[in-house]
């Protein structure tokens, strides 16, 4: 018995470059940057004063009156609702007449949404006794608790839970099937889509709303990554600060957003006349089992994930026409990812072209993989590859073809997308043009 095939029938995203599929795609092909000085909070005293924010976002543009149903939704949940609505409508599900909602599931890579950060700070400041402890100050627990009750009562504590975006989406679209959320850092949405593919393959659902959403653009998030020295500090030239694979790279740019795709069983999609954007043909997932924030120096986890995905897809390395790299712009990630790709695909003469859209969008953390898979799908559709921007000075440790600074026309049938996360998580997806002759 052959396994059930999985296709993509709808896509939506909310990104630092906008939220309309075609407009954002064209901006990526033109090499435009969504990186600007941070405005969501005062970052002027931080080592990094810029980020890739989603600007001018309005959920009511997509949900209309239904927006009020989600009035307590955190920023990341709102992003996910908008992207899911675009994907749902794009898949024609809004007008589908016969849907078994018990066979519609959700699998997200969703990050936490600290909607009460400002309230928490206000409570802490109010509880600080500056005269105590010899003038060094002390936290008055009783005063803090009293203020915290007042500050936090207006917000929902449950919105801190990573699965809340999935819950909001389930409510909005009456998705009564299996619902999951994974938070494996920067690999989360790629892992979610891979696991969703397996759920459909084995018959647990016919449709799964999958992808990811995240916003860490708050002082806690920025401070954490600055302390890890993972962020670029190129404050005087922030629009070119994200420089994947370039020798002058000095870290990634923190971004936010959401990417949502409708994954559907092939025959189910054909019966209802859905447009088929691509087929998810291969998935590989591994762990480095090394260190929490460092990739193993041999690239063993990434190598294994790519090989597993190729095996799952029944493809050889030479069958891949484009790689969407994790490509963060940190010294170690880019060097080791290049090593891993070369180990699987060979050197510059045999490896497919590679690019990182993080050079324009920044790093969307848990949402990154989903947004990057959408670009693979659009590359297949339009037969054009997005560039890696800000690539000026080649690095001998990164000796492959990174599609520098200009989009490139190419034959694109089979694509591979990598996502590697803190904790040593490695996930790879292979998306290919739909072959309806072999349906």
- Which positions are catalytic? 186, 326, 363
Provide the CA 124 distance to its chain's centre, in angstroms.
32
E strands, 140-200, are 179-181
Alpha helices in 44-163 (DSSP H): 60-63, 75-90, 117-126, 141-152
Residue 402 backbone phi and psi in degrees, to 5 = -105, 20
Question: How far apart are alpha carbons 279 and 267 in whole angstroms?
Answer: 12
Q: 190, 417 in Cβ contact below 8 A?
A: yes
Residues forming beta bridges with residue 280, ordered by sequence position:
431
Find tokens 């949402």 and name the residue.
367
- How far is the C-alpha of 438 from the C-alpha of 283, rounded, in Å? 20
Of the candidates 219, 260, 232, 212, which has an alpha carbon nearest to the alpha carbon of residue 358?
Answer: 232
CA nearest to 324, candidates 396, 374, 395, 397? 374
Which residues face 404 on adjacent strands? Answer: 388
What span, in angstroms and rounded, lies between the C-alpha atoms of 322 and 213? Answer: 24
- Those residues with Cβ within 8 angstroms of residue 230's Cβ, 6 or more apart along the chain or in another chain: 251, 252, 330
SS3 125: helix
Distance, CA of 256 to CA of 382 (rounded, Å): 26
Largest interatomic CA distance in the chain: 79
Q: How far apart are CA 374 and CA 369, in angstroms?
A: 9
């Amino acid at each position: 018995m052959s396994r059930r095939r999985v296709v993509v029938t709808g896509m939506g995203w909310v990104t630092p470059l906008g939220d309309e599929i075609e407009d954002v795609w064209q901006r990526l092909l033109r090499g435009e940057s969504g990186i600007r000085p941070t405005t969501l909070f005062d970052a002027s005293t931080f080592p990094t004063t810029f980020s890739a924010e989603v600007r001018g976002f309005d959920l009511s543009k997509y949900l209309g009156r239904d927006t009020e149903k989600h009035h307590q939704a955190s920023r990341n949940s709102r992003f996910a609702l908008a992207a899911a609505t675009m994907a749902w409508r794009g898949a024609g599900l809004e007008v589908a007449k016969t849907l078994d909602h018990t066979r519609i599931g959700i699998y997200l890579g969703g990050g936490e949404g600290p909607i009460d950060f400002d309230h928490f700070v206000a409570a802490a400041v109010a509880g600080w006794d500056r005269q105590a402890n010899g003038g060094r100050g002390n936290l008055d627990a009783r005063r803090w608790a009293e203020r915290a009750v007042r500050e936090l009562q207006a917000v929902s504590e449950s919105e801190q839970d990573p699965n809340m975006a999935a819950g909001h989406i389930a409510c909005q679209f009456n998705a009564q099937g299996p619902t999951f959320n994974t938070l494996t850092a920067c690999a989360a949405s790629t892992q979610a889509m891979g696991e969703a593919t397996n759920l459909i393959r084995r018959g647990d659902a016919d449709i799964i709303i999958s992808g990811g959403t995240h916003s860490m653009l708050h002082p806690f998030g920025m401070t954490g990554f600055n302390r890890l020295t993972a962020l670029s500090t190129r404050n005087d030239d922030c629009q070119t600060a994200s420089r994947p694979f370039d020798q002058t790279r000095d870290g990634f740019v923190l971004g936010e957003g959401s990417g949502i795709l409708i994954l559907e069983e092939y025959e189910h999609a054909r019966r209802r006349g859905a447009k088929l954007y691509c087929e998810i043909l291969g998935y590989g997932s591994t762990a480095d089992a090394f260190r929490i924030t460092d990739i193993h120096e041999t690239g063993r986890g990434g190598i294994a994930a790519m090989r597993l995905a190729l095996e799952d897809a029944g493809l050889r390395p030479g069958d891949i026409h484009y790689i969407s790299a994790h490509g963060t712009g940190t010294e170690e990630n880019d060097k080791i990812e290049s090593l891993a790709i070369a180990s699987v695909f060979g050197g510059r003469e045999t490896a497919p072209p590679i690019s990182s859209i993080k050079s324009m969008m920044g790093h969307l953390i848990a949402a990154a993989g989903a947004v990057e898979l959408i670009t693979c799908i659009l590359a297949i559709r339009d037969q054009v590859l997005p560039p890696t921007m800000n690539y000026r000075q080649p690095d001998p440790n990164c000796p492959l073809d990174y599609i520098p600074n200009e989009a490139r026309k190419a034959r694109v049938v089979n694509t591979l997308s990598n996502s590697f996360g803190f904790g040593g998580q490695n996930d790879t997806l292979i998306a290919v043009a739909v072959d309806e002759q072999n349906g």
